[in-house]
Amino acid sequence: MAIRVAALYDVHGNLPALDAVLGELDADVILVGGDFVAGPWPAGTIERLRGLAGDVRFIRGNADRALTEPPQREGGPQEAALAWIRAQLSAEQLAFLGTLPFTETLQVDGLGRVLFCHATPRSDDELLTKISPDARWARALAGVDADVVVCGHTHVQFDRQVGDVRLVNAGSIGMPYEREPGAYWALLGPGVDVRRTRYEPGDVADSGFPDEWPEFGPDEATELFERMSLERA
């Protein structure tokens, strides 16, 4: 059965942003594309998403995986934030994160076979961007049986073609690196509609979240991730 899918990526525990997007949804399936709890309101975010009626599916992001792994011996700002988030979640909620699949594939109206992953189909933390050369993306897409691949991870929306595959980054609901404020997401079927939802931000300081939210524009973030990707190669 062909369907319409709302792709909600990188919520990062931003409950006010999530609630604004949920108020606009008109889709058959909600696909939560990973990294949805790692932020200032983790418990409320996971319960809001798990409590939704209808067909709601989850895939794993790198932050979701990190929350289920043993803490690193050498702490730092990132590990301090992860420890705080773990303390806000119940054992059952953390166990749920450990069950999440790596990808999800759906048949979507007008688009055909669509594969949803967090970063790339082969990794939940690979850094490829809207300006990464086709050859690098082609290696990450090798063997993929899909007409469209939807990803997130870099928090910048884009829509490009790589060979026979249409590649869509849904953007970030909770921590977008974009020019305009808002919650960024995508609606798929029959076309690709990348969206921005306005919302009133919550007070992150009042949440107790110990980390600072980075602020980048799309070009700055993309260039940073490209440099990081090349350094990893």
pLDDT, tens digit, 9 for 90 and up, residues 182-191: 999 999 999 9
Residue pair 76/210 in contact (Cβ under 8 Å)? The answer is no
Q: What are phi and psi of 53, to 5 degrees?
A: -80, 160
pTM of the model: 0.95
Q: What residues form DSSP beta bridges with 113?
A: 107
Mean pLDDT of 112-127: 97
- What average pLDDT score do residues 141-161 get? 97
pLDDT value of residue 184: 98
Task: Give residue 2's pLDDT.
Answer: 63
Instruction: Give percent above pLDDT 90 in the chain.
Output: 85
List all residues 6 or more positions away from 4 whose beta carbon is below 8 Å from its beta carbon. Answer: 26, 27, 28, 29, 108, 109, 187, 188, 189, 190
| pLDDT-derived band at 1, boundaries 50, 70, 90 | low
Rounded CA separation 33/176 (Å): 14
**First-to-final CA distance of the chain:** 40
Exposure string (b/e) for 106-123, b if CB count within 10 Å is 16 or more? bebeebeebbbbbbbbee
Which residues are bridge partners to 194 per DSSP?
A: 186
Given this model, what pLDDT does residue 100 score? Answer: 97
CB 116 within 8 A of CB 33: yes
Q: What is the mean pLDDT of residues 88-112?
A: 96
Q: Is the pLDDT of residue 89 over 90?
A: yes
Ordered domains of the chain (ranges, CATH): 5-232 (3.60.21.10)
Q: How confident is the model at residue 75 (pLDDT cuts 50, 70, 90)?
A: low
Q: CB count, 10 Å around CB of 133?
A: 10
Q: What is the pLDDT of residues 197-207, one digit of tens each?
A: 999 998 887 89
- Check residue 173 and give its pLDDT: 98
At residue 71, the pLDDT reads 77
Is the pLDDT reported for residue 73 higher than 80? no
Across 32-61, average pLDDT: 97
